[in-house]
Structure 1
């Protein structure tokens, strides 16, 4: 389909969620929560995935004029979904106080 590009949506959403993950990680560090190591790890993984998704979406926008279009958008979709999964796991760990 012509004009069916998801990369602008992925770029804006992943960069917003990247900022949210930084806020979560910073608040965990400020509170000196010693039992939050698993939450830290999932949040750090989500940060890496959202950053990679943002970069791949940007590369997809930049390369959209090339004839053999690289598959940046498809990879950005997959990485973005993985980041959402890690963010969901993090919020469930925080919500249900799994770490004690």
Structure 2
């Protein structure tokens, strides 16, 4: 299996910071569609946090099989977080246009 855990960890932490900025901006700006955007953003934050933890554990795991399972789980959660971010961006884009 290809070792992607370090890349997942790096990308997840960067996107986690981005999502926290989005959530803070939504709260400060009192964005009109805050309920669904909040849910999408919090879903992305939750998925990215778990993805970070699982990819870190995958890198530290000595067992190859366990490492692969953790890495695959981190990859799936990272993809779910990307979907949440895409939905959030589409909602904001549609509302702005």
Instruction: Trace 1:34-73 onto structure 2 (pairs within 5 A).
Output: 34-63=32-61, 65-66=62-63, 68-70=65-67, 71-73=69-71
The one of 27, 30, 40 equivalent to 1:29 is 27
Select between 85-94 and 29-38 the one with higher mean Cα deviation. 29-38
Task: State the TM-score, normalizing by the size of structure 1.
Answer: 0.87
Any gaps of 5 or more consecutive residues in structure 2?
none
| 1:67–1:51 distance in 2 versus 1, CA, 3 Å | closer
Q: What stretches of structure 1 move > 2 A for 4+ residues in a row? A: 65-70
Q: Please, what is the CA RMSD of the aligned residues?
A: 1.6
Any gaps of 5 or more consecutive residues in structure 1?
none
**Of the two, which has the highest radius of gyration?**
1
Aligned length in residues: 95
Task: State the TM-score, normalizing by the size of structure 2.
Answer: 0.90
Distance in 2 separating the partners of 1:79 and 1:35: 25
